[in-house]
Amino acid sequence: MNSSDSLEEYILRHIDEEPELLREIHRETHLKLLHGIMVSGHLQGRLLKMLVRMIHPSQVLEIGTYTGYSALCIAEGLEGDGRLHTIEIDDELEEMILRNFGRSALANRITLHIGDAAALLPGFEDGFFDLAFLDGDKRNYWQIYEATLPKVKSGGFLLADNTLWHGKILEPTSSDRQTRGIQEFNERLASDNRVEKVILPLRDGLTLIRKK
């Protein structure tokens, strides 16, 4: 165990516990799917819930449902008539996602849309969302951000996951399209005057963005 492992363990022992259902979804995702590492996990999941509690959104968008872990964390933070629309491109995940949502009392707050976010986003009204969590394909991160921004109201927030990409964003000439997609996103966002932004070095980077 290195020192950052023990620091992470320390953090996890001193924050809210991961709910049992989420622990099971995390375990099942790692057992059954190839890229289990994509699940938000205990720390980021609790942060997502806390950010939702702080923002009090009525309508939330998520791009990239995967097995539903982060969607359930977001839904946990919703109050009143708050709702989450979550978009997943991989229709083979639909059954597992719906089963996971169905095991939660929060299922009635979540609408799953199966399809490509780029195709589905134009179907939402401009300014509809108070909060958007971007966690889909990193190769087109900037294009998805551009398509999402009009759908978020002025004063609303976007969260973009994986923006430090395990430190790979520091590689000046990467041949990996996901790394290049995130580098392009970070570069263009840095000079985007439509928004305020800050990068949290949590896990592999979470950028908090506020639309002016």
**Residues in touch with ligand SAM (CB under 6 A):** 38-40, 63-64, 66, 69-70, 87-90, 116-118, 135-137
Q: How far apart are CA 198 and CA 195, in angstroms?
A: 10
Question: Residue 73 or 189: which CB sits closer to ligand SAM?
Answer: 73
Question: Residue 118 or 195: which CB sits closer to ligand SAM?
Answer: 118
Question: Residue 66 or 130: which CB sits closer to ligand SAM?
Answer: 66
Please, what is the minimum distance in Å from the beta carbon of residue 149 to ligand SAM?
A: 16
Tell me the DSSP string of 185-209: HHHHHHT-TTEEEEEE-STT-EEEE
Please, what is the minimum distance in Å from the beta carbon of residue 3 to ligand SAM?
A: 26
Q: What is the dihedral of CA 135, 137, 142, 143, to 10 degrees?
A: -120
Please, what is the minimum distance in Å from the beta carbon of residue 90 to ligand SAM?
A: 4
Enter the tokens of residue 94: 């639909």
Name the residue whose CB lies closest to ligand SAM: 64
Greatest CA separation found in the chain?
49
Task: Look at the block and give the residue holding tokens 């305020």.
Answer: 196
Question: Residue 33 or 199: which CB sits closer to ligand SAM?
Answer: 33
**Cβ atoms within 10 Å of 117's Cβ, excluding its own:** 22
Task: Look at the block and give the residue holding tokens 């963005």.
Answer: 209
Please, what is the minimum distance in Å from the beta carbon of residue 116 to ligand SAM?
A: 5
Question: Residue 146 or 196: which CB sits closer to ligand SAM?
Answer: 146
Please, what is the minimum distance in Å from the beta carbon of residue 87 to ligand SAM?
A: 5
Please, what is the minimum distance in Å from the beta carbon of residue 44 to ligand SAM?
A: 7
Question: Residue 77 or 136: which CB sits closer to ligand SAM?
Answer: 136
CB 160 within 8 A of CB 136: no
DSSP, collapsed to helix, strand or coil, labels residue 61 as strand
